[in-house]
């Protein structure tokens, strides 16, 4: 695989794709195969995107989020949907990365503008092992998404 440069032109292209996407996000896989032992994904997020709270049930699926551009909030939840923590990640800020254990219910959203984040998880990726989505949060496209996202964002300071 050729070298991949994580530069502003790549971020701009991903953010343009995200802006044109109904989901308001896009991604670029940096690994060549689902079988690779480390899965690396650049994810571009536009304001208004909804990442349904979810967790990864496989024991070895720790997840690392590393901010590449912008700011975002990562929210963790209990099994029954109570908020447990909020972490503001920002490039050049006090906190630019966060790693959490498998079985951690989480969601994220950009703060005050677009954001680009790197997600790193152990592989291999098995598409047949489905991500567990929170039963207490609306599915993408459901009528309750806007209210859920607004409530999640209202509870968080953006500064």
Radius of gyration for the chain, computed over Cα atoms and rounded to the nearest angstrom: 15
Q: Identify the CATH number of the domain in which residue 102 sits.
A: 2.60.120.10
Residue 159 inside a domain? The answer is: no
Q: How confident is the model at residue 56 (pLDDT cuts 50, 70, 90)?
A: confident
Residue 3 inside a domain? The answer is: no
Q: What is the mean pLDDT of the chain?
A: 92
Residue 103 inside a domain? The answer is: yes
Residue 27 inside a domain? The answer is: yes
Number of domains in the chain: 1
Considering only CA atoms, which of 47, 55, 54, 56 is closest in space to residue 23? Answer: 47
Residue 2 inside a domain? The answer is: no
pLDDT of 151 over the 60 cut: yes
To the nearest whole percent, how much of the chain has pLDDT over 90?
A: 81
Domain containing residue 85 = 8-153
Q: What is the pTM of this model?
A: 0.92
pLDDT of 43 over the 50 cut: yes
Residue 158 inside a domain? The answer is: no
pLDDT of 1 over the 70 cut: no
Residue 117 inside a domain? The answer is: yes
Mean pLDDT of 45-70: 93
């Amino acid at each position: 695989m050729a070298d991949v440069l994580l530069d502003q032109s790549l971020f701009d292209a991903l953010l343009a794709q995200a802006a044109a996407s109904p989901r308001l996000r896009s991604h670029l896989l940096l690994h060549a195969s689902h079988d690779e032992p480390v899965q690396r994904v650049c994810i571009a997020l536009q304001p208004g995107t909804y990442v349904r709270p979810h967790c990864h049930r496989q024991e070895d699926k720790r997840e690392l989020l590393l901010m590449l551009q912008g700011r975002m909030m990562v929210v963790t939840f209990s099994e029954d949907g109570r908020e447990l923590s909020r972490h503001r990640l920002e490039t050049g800020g006090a906190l630019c990365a966060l790693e959490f254990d498998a079985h951690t219910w989480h969601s994220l959203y950009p703060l005050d503008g677009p954001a680009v984040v790197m997600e790193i998880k152990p592989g291999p990726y098995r598409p047949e092992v489905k991500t567990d989505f929170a039963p207490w949060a609306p599915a993408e496209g459901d009528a309750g998404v806007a209210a859920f996202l607004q409530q999640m964002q209202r509870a968080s300071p953006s500064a």
